[in-house]
Structure 1
């Protein structure tokens, strides 16, 4: 029986390698694990090994695996009406949009639903261009907004190279990243850093011509590129800059939204209101694909008299909307905001401890259950690998060491992301971070 099961698992992997193209990989270099089960904050491979899901898969499984309420909502909607054209009004579409708007706190906003984060950003680009009549779009270096044609051009790191040259009008700017600022720039505090980066941004706006700029995009808290948490003064300054020049402020909350930072949406930490907010991931925790754009009152009212040139076959898909309604209810039922505050405090204690006890750990950044550690060579803070260049595969080795011990996450450049499901309990977090502690011991010796 065991041999038969092993053969079955080998067949699954072989078939995957034969027929599936795996993202962001040279296909000959991959060796995917066969996963057989997932529950709570854990998943298991074909050999029975259990893993702590410490990146919530792709920072989307916020409520973990196997949530019964979400699953039941999907089943019920499949029985009732699995699909109907986006042109029709149905209960779950109305309920999902209402729930999203209420969570955002944006008065008289509306929602345009999509299928994923990249599509959300694609449609936000079009809305901003239509609303302003302008054509240039600003987005930040060290950000990720998706890999489709427009979203890929928004993206400000090497994953956008495959989209080039792309359409005209996409402009990149430097956002706050004080830890890696040029050596000759010394900031007194966060406000000083905010002033510096705001001056750079406004200069670029003036050089490019405010009358041609439709939108400034930003990840409210930068996700995969290292959990870069901006100073409050910078976020407020961008809001003021957009208002001053009539530019649409777009906050990408695909990863940072849905209580990942402790608030329903990350922008709520800063006391501002964007013009457009893009979302996906945690709105259904990946159980069914869906995303969307929250459209502020002034922009949604523009489309009362102007045709909105956005449309998708699966816009506001009934099963996605049903999953979204159930997920939003579960955030409240499970007291997720309270748990993120509690476990986020514990996570910070671990990270701060690692920065003191492990020479390989440089700056640590954390907000809610959203965090990253910079892996460095020495006390100077020099990164263990250079930008987009790790010829010896040092970071994959470290991630492999963690995986071998049952700790699943991912890295970007020299940074390790730690973003567990928001349902994680204190004891589970302690057990997982004990694994990280042991592996960092080995990394200290390795470097």
Structure 2
């Protein structure tokens, strides 16, 4: 029996409560920075497993010391999305909440964070029950507000690095559209850096029948939207990756009124800091030039928010974890993930400690099951083998560093 087998010997019992817990969590999602019930239930579980539990920056951290040795940190995110679930599952979310703008929105785990929480709790339970197979310290970190890029930063700002032992390495995983039971690893840049910017351009209000007396910000915004597409098409070197998306353009309230301003919400994704800097500079240059060309009475304003760091997996850690996965799961179940154009704030945690990390993907969809993208109202991973694979992956990766020698 291997050390992994020793730790996972009780997986049948773990699987039973995990499935029940997952359905409960899926049916009771909470928006970013409001994960009160979820955090309390996670803390209760960790305490029952024998962990020292700390509350840090809206998150929960469980520390299990098991003699001398290294320290591993594993992270799961807890928040849900303002998305109305349309899956019609018996445990589908019917939750609504008031968002930051004061509107009522549906809430669901449309990104699979309920899977992440459940898997990390399962790994925490397995490691607590299999202490004879490993030595060192395991840190289970449950983070709030990943979807708003605020959670990791908030935990660091609340003194995370002073409240838990310094890890040697950090892990995280995400349920994705791979086949259930399959794991995807990737060295180097994996999840893109992300920036959002709110751009306000100013016009001069007038009657719709008298456009010559105003400066129309709707036409100005339309020119900007079209011109921004040239940043990727004509300013970014072929082969370099960049995405510039205008997700919202808002101006005016009535057909016969020329408004005095327009607001654009723009999203940027890159894998290279120099490319990122060029894209941001290009956006600001184009917006200012179009405002000048239109005779805008005031300069535009730029407000950056929801900024995500690049997820850049350490090659040595990734190689070690990938080999451990192949040894346990078999070659066929471990694939190259490739670059994922979505973004993550996980890397702020290992960066705060100054430690290497790796972040992998977990397949969530059974053969024949429709595979919907994350954030879709139909996103609903197969419970099994997804939960078991995600739990086992965390244990296997941890024991690659903390497992006792045979």
TM-score (norm 1): 0.21
Tell me: higher relative CO, structure 1 or 2? Use CA pairs within 8 A at least 6 residues apart: 2
Q: Which has the larger radius of gyration?
A: 2
TM-score (norm 2): 0.22
Bigger fraction of residues in strand: 2
Bigger fraction of residues in helix: 1
